[in-house]
């Protein structure tokens, strides 16, 4: 079987800013209402953001379902979610997690955001809106970017199901010669299983989705 090329993932991975700084991450300058939390706010440890979500998954690229396997590694405050396809490394998602928050650092196939984007900040209210400002960097190219972060509760309708927090990051880029000036990154963070699903969206399309593999007929209820 021919190994699916990374070229299947269009240049949106390079020109849409799904990656973030792969070095030491710093707190994002997220702004919003004064960070006072309500009685239902999640504290550090309430959401197992760095859990290993599953082993068998699916990468959906422009409608094509590609089987993948997932492995994870946590070291100090860094967390890696590694994706393999047909036994070969395909991509890695990088995060950090500490008592202040959970941040998306980036992916091996993308550029970088500086500073990193905070997905959860503790204590984290179930619903919240805040903003992010920084730069997106690929090689020697640096583009100013801004984002609106929306946090909301959601019950997943996936093979593993369960309670989750959905975090969407709607990004806009100042550079006018990019393929698109806006892009949305979406993360579904299961409270027990970690980053169970991730998606890259444009205004009118979904370019890439990582999610659990569909259950087989033997596994289906």
Residue 62 main-chain phi, psi, to 5 deg: 50, 40
Q: What are 51-64's pLDDT values in tens digits? A: 999 999 999 998 89
| pTM score of the predicted model | 0.82
Q: Which residues of the chain have pLDDT under 70?
A: 1-36, 158-161, 176-180, 216-221
Dist CA 19 CA 183 (whole Å): 12
Chain centroid to CA 77? 17
Q: Residue 172: exposed, middle, or buried by beta-carbon count in 10 A (0-12, 13-18, 19+)?
A: middle
Residue 75 is predicted with a pLDDT of 92
180-195 b/e (C-beta count within 10 Å ≥ 16 → b) = eeebbbbbbbbbebbb
Q: Contact 109/83 with Cβ under 8 angstroms?
A: no
* Pairing state between β 88-98 and 101-107: antiparallel
Q: How far apart, in Å, are the Cα atoms of 57 and each of 5, 37, 111, 213?
A: 17, 35, 24, 4
Residue 151 main-chain phi, psi, to 5 deg: -110, 135
Task: Match 């984002």 to its residue by tokens.
Answer: 147
Residue 112 is predicted with a pLDDT of 75
Q: How far apart, in Å, are the Cα atoms of 173 and each of 79, 144, 149?
A: 27, 6, 15
């Amino acid at each position: 079987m021919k190994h699916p090329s990374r070229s299947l993932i269009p240049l949106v991975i390079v020109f849409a800013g799904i990656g973030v700084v792969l070095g030491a991450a710093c707190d994002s300058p997220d702004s919003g209402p004064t960070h006072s939390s309500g009685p239902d706010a999640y504290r550090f440890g309430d959401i197992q953001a760095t859990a290993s979500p599953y082993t068998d998954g699916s990468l959906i690229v422009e409608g094509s379902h590609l089987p993948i396997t997932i492995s994870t590694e946590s070291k100090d405050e860094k967390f890696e979610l590694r994706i393999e396809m047909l036994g070969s490394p395909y991509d890695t998602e990088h995060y950090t997690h500490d008592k202040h928050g959970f941040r998306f650092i980036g992916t091996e196939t993308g550029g970088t955001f500086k500073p990193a984007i905070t997905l959860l900040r503790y204590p984290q209210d179930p619903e919240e809106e805040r903003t992010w400002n920084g730069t997106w960097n690929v090689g020697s190219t640096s583009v100013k970017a801004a984002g609106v972060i929306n946090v909301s509760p959601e019950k997943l309708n996936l093979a593993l199901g369960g309670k989750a927090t959905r975090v969407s990051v709607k990004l806009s880029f100042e550079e006018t010669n990019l393929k698109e000036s806006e892009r949305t990154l979406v993360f579904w963070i299961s409270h027990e299983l970690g980053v169970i699903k991730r998606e890259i969206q444009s205004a009118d399309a979904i370019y890439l989705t990582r999610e659990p593999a569909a259950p087989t007929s033997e596994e289906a209820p």
